[in-house]
Amino acid sequence: MCGILGTWGRYDTALINKAAASISHRGPDAHGVYTDGEITLIHHRLSILDLSEKGNQPYQFMHLTLTYNGEIYNFQDIRQELVTEGYHFNSSSDTEVLIKAFHKWGVDAVQKFTGMFAFAIYDKSDHSIYVFRDRMGVKPLYYTTDNGFAFASELKAIMPLMTNKDIDGAAVTEYFRFGYISREKTIFSHAKKLLPGHYLHYRNGTADIKCYWDVNEQFRKPAPVLTTVEWQEELHKKLIDACTIRMVSDVPVGIFLSGGIDSSLVTAILRKHYGNIETFTIGFRNEQFNEAPYAEKIARQLDTKHTSYILEIEQAYEAMENFYDVYDEPFADSSGVPTTIISALAAKAGIKVVLSANGGDELFAGYPHYVSTLNYYNRFMQIPAALRKLMALGSKTLFNSSALKNLYFKNAEHRASVVDELLRQNTPGAFYNSFLANQSRLEVSRLLTTGTDDQRSDTLVHADMNGLMAYDMQHYLPDDLLVKMDRATMHNSIEGREPLLDHRLVELAAQMPLDLKLHNGESKWILKEILHQYLPGDLFMRPKMGFSIPIFHWFIHKMDDLFHEYIKPETIAQTGVLNTGEVMHEFKKYEWYKKHHKEYNIEKMWRILSFVMWHKKWMAQS
């Protein structure tokens, strides 16, 4: 795992060095630079495989130069295939395998890779650069064509190279509605993310982007005819392979164990099929959010070397203050705080690679809102369109009334705007977006002085639960969960791996009959059947908690010092995006709920605070 950076253009050397320094934490073990005229490739190395200098980058072979972030887990098999083709190897690293595979097969080489990666190859023979991102988006890749061409592992590394930092109105709207910015968008109009499963070919000043793998296509494939037992056996084999192949490492490996189905299954499989492992859990004093006791029971049952840590409010406050040292664009997933702290804990224990279990909910219908979304959609569609339109008009009128604006009880203003939006949706995709949003379009339009519709797709490939899962695999998974995991681990110079996102496992799960995932109302049914082979059911058969934090409790007892520091008319106005009067009204509402000990939609205030903190860190100073 590493940090990569590349530029093509007349960039100032001092700016390139500043950009490279901003991601040095991703690879503290070695630093390399390659230049050829206006082209610069930079690599910060975190040594995981072949710890010798032979694995350093940028790596050159013939007319090709590579800078690479990630792991190709099946590199030994590819290496053997290349040997039969006459290639020779000087190292034991996957880096050398990757560049020689590209030399042999060109862009088709990526189809052979099982792993997570973001890499760039400069081909001197035709004076072009190829940039690739892995199928599920485990590894990040940002780029800009503003003032030339530049790409990097994090947005902060291309910021110094951009001459235009205009905020994207659709992106800021999406942030306030969903808490993150998805797909190719970033907070800046002139910076983009390379989508998962895509590659970019840059030549003669033009960036040509192509898709080589699409998760939607996996759901379209006809399912093999298998019995329930055969599906279970096939999935079990894929799980074992996906987990064990990710233990390939020349450094210590650990597992983040939450005590939920997914991480418990990964831990159980590796304990049986790999050997001794270390597990790490983070918990909270608030029992409503604390999964640590469940994780500890599973760790004892599996006999792992376990570390459990209770996050105190004082440490959480410090991490929240430094939130935008880790993140470089607006990001409102507050569980990034404990994820960063548990990553630091693992690093302190000498761990350089950690396995997580993201993807289980999206692959096996684990989120309760999948069922509730479809139920509500069907109910709303039973209302005649003309009546829905009339009801929406009434809800909007109510939302805009001054009386409701000053009525805090039961958050009535927010509820009226949500009803208005849901009544206006006519497709499952649009309804799903509105159902997920923390704030309605009406609320966001009032909150922002600029901005447009969030422009998230309102269509699903499948207007059913499979469609919702595939949709999350293209939005929430890569742009929230995997961003959180990547930044938290790399901030602490450790590598995060995702066994449940092995593309072979994803392809199998996409074709699996839905009733094996959601069986008689029970989510993740087939995963639980497999987990029963490793653990007693009473250790994991419990209601889903999810990895969330007691953020409202934290703010009302300690952290609203941050509100008083940042939520001021002058700091709000400096953003150039937020409506000062509306923000101060929302802050007044929060204060009322806190005073009367009422539960409040704290996510709304947290997103405002988080945006202002981001702006002060990354925009006001520049």
**Among the listed ranges 14-23, 144-153, 586-595, 603-612, which one has the minimum average pLDDT value?**
586-595
Q: What is the pLDDT of residues 266-306, one digit of tens each?
A: 999 999 999 888 999 988 877 667 788 889 999 999 999 99
Q: Which residues contact 92 (CB under 8 A, 6 or more apart)?
A: 49, 50, 54
**Nearest residue to 32 (alpha-carbon basis) of 15, 14, 48, 45:** 45
CB distance 180 to 614 below 8 Å:
no
Per CATH, which fold does 217-366+467-539 belong to? Rossmann fold (3.40.50)
Mean pLDDT of 385-406: 72
Answer yes or no: is pLDDT of 46 > 80. Answer: no
Answer yes or no: is pLDDT of 154 > 90. Answer: yes
d(CA 168, CA 257): 37
| Sequence ranges of the domains in the chain | 2-213, 217-366+467-539, 551-620
What was the pLDDT predicted at 409?
60
DSSP per position, 175-229: HHHHSS--TTB-SBTT-EEPPTTEEEEEETTEEEEEES--HHHHHHSPPP---HH
Tokens 């309760």 identify what position?
368
What was the pLDDT predicted at 356?
94
Q: What letters, b where the CB count within 10 A reaches 16 and e where it falls short, cover 97-109? A: bbbbbbbbbeeeb
Beta partners for residue 34, in sequence order: 41
d(CA 534, CA 233): 14
Burial classification of residue 594, based on how many CB atoms lie within 10 Å of its CB (0-12 exposed, 13-18 middle, 19 or more buried): middle
Answer yes or no: is pLDDT of 328 > 90. Answer: yes
The 3-state secondary structure of 439-497 reads: CCHHHHHHHECCCCCCCCCCCCCCCCHHHHHHHHHHCHHHHHHHHHHHHHHHHCCCEEE
What homologous superfamily is domain 2-213 in, according to CATH?
Aminohydrolase, N-terminal nucleophile (Ntn) domain (3.60.20.10)
d(CA 470, CA 517): 14
Q: In whole numbers, what is the pLDDT of the chain averaged over residues?
A: 89
Structure tokens at 347: 């690093």
Split at pLDDT 50, 70, 90, the class of 263 is very high
Q: Report the percentage of the chain scoring pLDDT > 90.
A: 62
Answer yes or no: is pLDDT of 179 > 90. Answer: yes
What was the pLDDT predicted at 145?
94
**Among the listed ranges 77-81, 163-167, 413-417, which one has the minimum average pLDDT value?**
413-417
Split at pLDDT 50, 70, 90, the class of 537 is confident
d(CA 73, CA 292): 31
What DSSP character marks residue 154? S
What was the pLDDT predicted at 59?
94
pTM over 0.85: yes
Q: What is the pLDDT of residues 189-223, one digit of tens each?
A: 999 999 999 999 999 999 999 999 999 999 989 88
Mean pLDDT of 316-329: 91
Neighbour count for residue 603 (Cβ, 10 Å): 17
| 1-5, 546-550, 611-615: which is most confident | 611-615
Split at pLDDT 50, 70, 90, the class of 364 is very high
What DSSP character marks residue 405? H
Mean pLDDT of 123-150: 96
Strand pairing class (39-45; 198-203): unpaired
Topology match between the domains 2-213 and 217-366+467-539: no
DSSP-derived 3-state class of residue 128: strand
What was the pLDDT predicted at 398?
65
What was the pLDDT predicted at 174?
94
Q: What is the pLDDT of residues 449-490, one digit of tens each?
A: 876 666 676 666 667 889 999 999 999 999 999 999 999 999
Q: What is the pLDDT of residues 405-457, one digit of tens each?
A: 665 566 667 777 888 888 888 888 888 888 899 888 888 988 998 766 666 76
What was the pLDDT predicted at 622?
56
**Nearest residue to 39 (alpha-carbon basis) of 3, 65, 21, 1:** 65
